[in-house]
Structure 1
Amino acid sequence: MTVATMWEARAAEGRGAELVAWAREQKLPEAPLRRETFRAPQDRVLVITWWEASYDDSDIPELPDPPGDLVTRPVHRWRFESVGDTP
């Protein structure tokens, strides 16, 4: 099964580029099948990783929390399991 993890944070005012750079520098102990980093208005940063694992697998690595002064609120994290592609 493929599981996607989503990590989303909102940077402190004017620090969006710094948060993107910080997120991109974070190494995971294992390489995911795929990893993408996104940005959005209001200095939000989203990182999605894809893993070959079960939904309940507690060993799926996740990005850590960034330094507190770099964000305006706690990181949001979600986990999704694939239901297949749409033809």
Structure 2
Amino acid sequence: MIFKREPVILQVALFALFNLLAAFGVIGWSCAQIAAVNAAVAAAFGVITRRLVTPLSDPRDAHGRRLAPAGGGQDDDRSYR
């Protein structure tokens, strides 16, 4: 599902759609209304994107097994296996 892999693509598509519809007069929104919709979409997708792509403090694989740094030590490179 593209939403779980690329939520930012959907966010940008919604921005483009709302702004183009308003620019060509298809919808009669004011600049303030367009800004409010853009802010709401950005906030919603920001939360979703952070949840989907931000590494966790206790990373686990799809089966719930704990992941460890590739070197096995206290590396700060954040590469996990």
TM range (shorter): under 0.3
Normalised by the length of structure 2, the TM-score is 0.26
Larger Rg: 2
Normalised by the length of structure 1, the TM-score is 0.25
More strand by share: 1
More helix by share: 2
